[in-house]
Amino acid sequence: MKKNLGSKDIVFPTPVFIVGTYNAEGVPNAMNVAWGGICGSNPPSVAIAIRKSRCTYDNINEKMAFTVNIPSEQYVAESDYFGMDSGKNGNKLERTGLTTVKSSMVDAPIIQEFPFALECKVINQIENGQHIIVIGEILNVVVDEDCLGVEGEPDIEKIAPMLYNPAKVNYYGIGSKIEEAFSVGKKFMKKE
Amino acid sequence: MKKNLGSKDIVFPTPVFIVGTYNAEGVPNAMNVAWGGICGSNPPSVAIAIRKSRCTYDNINEKMAFTVNIPSEQYVAESDYFGMDSGKNGNKLERTGLTTVKSSMVDAPIIQEFPFALECKVINQIENGQHIIVIGEILNVVVDEDCLGVEGEPDIEKIAPMLYNPAKVNYYGIGSKIEEAFSVGKKFMKKE
């Protein structure tokens, strides 16, 4: 039997994006964003949905740039904190002890301890109720060298990203590989 | 050391959204979409990025509605197939043996064997390079009763959703719970 739960902002999985920005004075900020995802391939682009009241939103409009940093599981406490406090209360990065370096492509900070980051320039903003959807063109992907796989691709298991579970407000790790894509489904294709 | 990989459409995790639509004749279709995510809370809304050439895009414009169905791991082959074939070649649902029922809220099909679905009405469409971002207001969340947790919430472990890994084109399961959100990060908050 199916049960109707009404209108809710729940889906599985949602990501743990730590969005990095600078304010007008160059102070870095980090915000935890679960409402987002890749939104285009040509150009490669990523969408994040945030409230206009956020420090990150002011920073994005100041610099027209942001990074999306993917934390490993071991940084769950830091990542959670980035979703609880505001940059308006001080330098959140400093409080966690995490360090940043300026992106070589855009005016936004990369969190050095995190294994994976996207460097993004803002190409669009769309009003969507209480949120604004900010679209960033991904100018560069930065990965820790020790998180690369045998073919030089980012290795999801070495990166060990987290998921956010909005139904129960907690974090999960990734599990095991199930199957290859564009492969296991072939059995349903029409025989020529 | 960090390595620059250039401009790529990679992030972790990306979801396995099976988007359900009807064509003008009422034939159901299912498409596998990894570019998407929740994009607002008030109203609850979800974004999916698809190419205009897709059967699903025609259907969305016909009905101004879609569902986002979340498959359990056991349906990895069916889900993969939905990303390989086009509804222009025939009824993909029929080929997999999966069954649909019309949403009670919108003119779109719910895949009955999948444990979780969002019923969405189209509220916006944004051009984004080769993709179009379709925004759906989530009018209802439908969950299998045996996938509910003790507080009546959708239970991520019972639903057993998959992740798509765009860096290596394969599917992963979810892992174990790491920590509670809005909780484990408290240790970094300023003491009053």
pLDDT tens-place string over residues B102-129: 999 999 999 999 999 999 999 999 999 9
Q: How confident is the model at residue A111 (pLDDT cuts 50, 70, 90)?
A: very high
Chain B residues closer than 8 Å to A6 by CB: 140-141
- Inter-chain contact B174–A163, Cβ cutoff 8 Å? yes
Residue in A closest to B158 by C-alpha: A12
Nearest-Cα distance to chain A for B21, in Å, is 18
Look over chain A and give the mean of its residue pLDDT values, rounded to a whole number. 97
Residue in A closest to B79 by C-alpha: A185
Amino acid identity of residue A170, one-letter, is N
Contact map slice: B 69-108 vs A, CB within 8 A: 70, 73, 76-85, 89-90, 92, 95-96, 104
With 70 as the cut, is the pLDDT of residue B169 above it?
yes
With 70 as the cut, is the pLDDT of residue B192 above it?
no
Rounded CA-CA distance B139/B103 in Å is: 10
By the CB < 8 Å criterion, does B9 face chain A?
Answer: yes
Rounded CA-CA distance A82/A134 in Å is: 19
Query: What secondary structure does DSSP assign to A57-85, as a single string?
Result: HHHHHHHSEEEEEE-BGGGHHHHHHHTTS
Chain A residues closer than 8 Å to B104 by CB: 4
Look over chain B and give the mean of its residue pLDDT values, rounded to a whole number. 97
Q: How confident is the model at residue B71 (pLDDT cuts 50, 70, 90)?
A: very high
Mean pLDDT computed over A116-130: 98
Is the Cα dihedral A62, A63, A68, A74 positive or negative? Answer: negative
Complex ipTM value: 0.97
Segment (H or E) for A156: helix A156-159
Domain count, chain A: 1
Q: Is residue A101 part of a domain?
A: yes
Q: Is residue A103 part of a domain?
A: yes
Rounded CA-CA distance A123/A66 in Å is: 11
Q: How far is CA B190 from the centre of its chain?
A: 38
- Find, among A108, A116, A80, the residue nearest to A95 by Cα: A80
Percent of chain B with pLDDT over 70: 99
What pLDDT, on the 0 to 100 scale, is given for residue A190? 82
How is residue B128 written in tokens? 């984004």
Rounded CA-CA distance A29/A26 in Å is: 9
Chain A residues closer than 8 Å to B82 by CB: 185
Segment (H or E) for A96: helix A92-96
Q: Is residue A2 part of a domain?
A: no
Question: In B120-144, which positions are buried (b, 16+ CB within 10 angstroms) versus exposed (e)?
Answer: bbbebebebbebbbbbbbbbbbbbb
Structural domain boundaries, residue A91: 14-188
Q: Is residue A142 part of a domain?
A: yes
Alpha-carbon distances, residue B156 vs A8, B162, B191 (angstroms): 15, 10, 34
Residue in B closest to A142 by C-alpha: B4
∠ CA A10-B182-B71, rounded to 5°? 25
Alpha-carbon distances, residue A109 vs A140, B52, B58, B139 (angstroms): 13, 35, 40, 37
- Find, among A152, A70, A66, A38, the residue nearest to B9 by Cα: A38
What pLDDT, on the 0 to 100 scale, is given for residue B190? 82
* Cβ-contact B103, B120 below 8 angstroms: no
The CATH number assigned to the domain holding A33 equals 2.30.110.10
Rounded CA-CA distance A79/A16 in Å is: 8
With 60 as the cut, is the pLDDT of residue A26 above it?
yes
Q: Is residue A9 part of a domain?
A: no
Q: Is residue A3 part of a domain?
A: no
Mean pLDDT computed over B130-144: 98
With 90 as the cut, is the pLDDT of residue A191 above it?
no
- Inter-chain contact B37–A124, Cβ cutoff 8 Å? no
Q: Is residue A83 part of a domain?
A: yes
Q: Is residue A6 part of a domain?
A: no
> Bridge partners of B2?
A144
Q: How confident is the model at residue A150 (pLDDT cuts 50, 70, 90)?
A: very high
With 70 as the cut, is the pLDDT of residue A125 above it?
yes
Nearest-Cα distance to chain B for A164, in Å, is 8
pLDDT tens readout for residues A56-68: 999 999 999 999 9
More confident site: A88 or A29: A29
What pLDDT, on the 0 to 100 scale, is given for residue A192? 56
